Amino acid sequence: MYRFLFSSKWLGYLLLAAIFATACVFLGRWQMDRRAETLAEINRVVTNYSATPIPFAQARDQFNQMDPAREWTQVELKGTYDPAGSRIVRNRPLNGQPGYEVVVPFRLDTGETVVIDRGWLPIGNKNPGSPDSVPAPPSGEVTAVVRLKPGEPQLQRGAPEGQLASIDLPAYAAQLGHPLLTGAYGQLASETPPAADMPVAFPKPSTDEGTHLSYSLQWFAFGVLMFVGFGYAARQQARNAAIDAEDQEEELQDGAIHSAVPAARRRPPAPRKRKKATAEEEEDALLDAQGY
């Protein structure tokens, strides 16, 4: 009944189903990997974002080479800002609005220098490609609480003077001409004393895992449904073939009956056997012949 499955046509259908199902599994696993990354990020935010700040001495190694698990850890820094080395980072949207971020070198009391991202600025209306104004950091001795963030990769695009395409710490250090700790930078949480004017503070990262799980389950379901559809189509083909075979058999039987009936009608009737005449009938026939 299912011998048609071995035909080139149906083998081609099976191959297409297998390719489609494989693609669905790949996309489903990709969504699961993205969900795992999102859950790891959520775990870092929940664990580190609001934890008690640690002193710089405990975080020095992170500023040299950051452990991804320590992202968002709060660190307390003491030192002074270097406003002359401040830069504007381009193309930094916030809540769907285009803008910039302000990064400033911070010289620690230990003599080392780290980078602090002080916040976000909207695009300006006076000079295209730059904010209208950049708030100055507080002068003198400052105690800043920052959250650890990894440095960003270098982008294959330039930036005007005084601006950066990304927070690429080695490239930033090359512009300044003096050493920076390039393993991580700090995203400003608070500072004492506060500045008179501040950039827009960064919002807390979202802890919503999104729709990765539902999307992955949908892709897996699509892969299974492809084979279910193939099986249904094969079953329908087999049923249709069986019905066609039954119809053909009935037509053959009806044809045999119809062809037998005319043949019977064309056959001449069999001659009747004559009955043997009785003595009386012979005597009557003899008298009739003599004219009596």
Does residue 178 sit in the same domain as residue 150? yes
Does residue 21 sit in the same domain as residue 119? no
pTM above 0.75, yes or no: no
Does residue 133 sit in the same domain as residue 182? yes
Structure tokens at 208: 């919503």
Q: Tokens 């080139």 identify what position? A: 8
Question: Residue 157: what pLDDT?
Answer: 82
For the chain, the domain total comes to 2
How far is residue 138's CA from residue 131's CA, in Å, rounded to a whole number? 19
Question: Residue 290: what pLDDT?
Answer: 60
Q: pLDDT tens per residue, the chain (292 residues)?
A: 777 778 888 888 889 989 999 999 999 999 999 999 989 889 999 999 999 999 999 999 999 999 999 999 999 999 999 999 999 999 999 988 999 999 999 999 999 999 999 999 999 888 778 898 999 999 999 999 999 999 999 888 878 888 999 999 999 999 998 889 999 999 999 999 999 899 999 999 888 888 889 999 999 999 999 889 888 888 888 888 788 777 777 777 766 666 655 555 555 555 555 555 566 666 666 656 665 5
- According to DSSP, residue 142 is labeled E
Does residue 108 sit in the same domain as residue 4? no
Listed in sequence order, the residues at least 6 apart from 191 whose beta carbon sits closer than 8 Å to its beta carbon are: 137, 138, 142, 143, 144, 145
Residue 60 counted as domain residue: yes
SS3 label, residue 243 = helix
Does residue 233 sit in the same domain as residue 138? no
Question: Residue 99: what pLDDT?
Answer: 94
Range of the domain at 111: 50-192
Does residue 35 sit in the same domain as residue 69? no
Question: Residue 2: what pLDDT?
Answer: 76
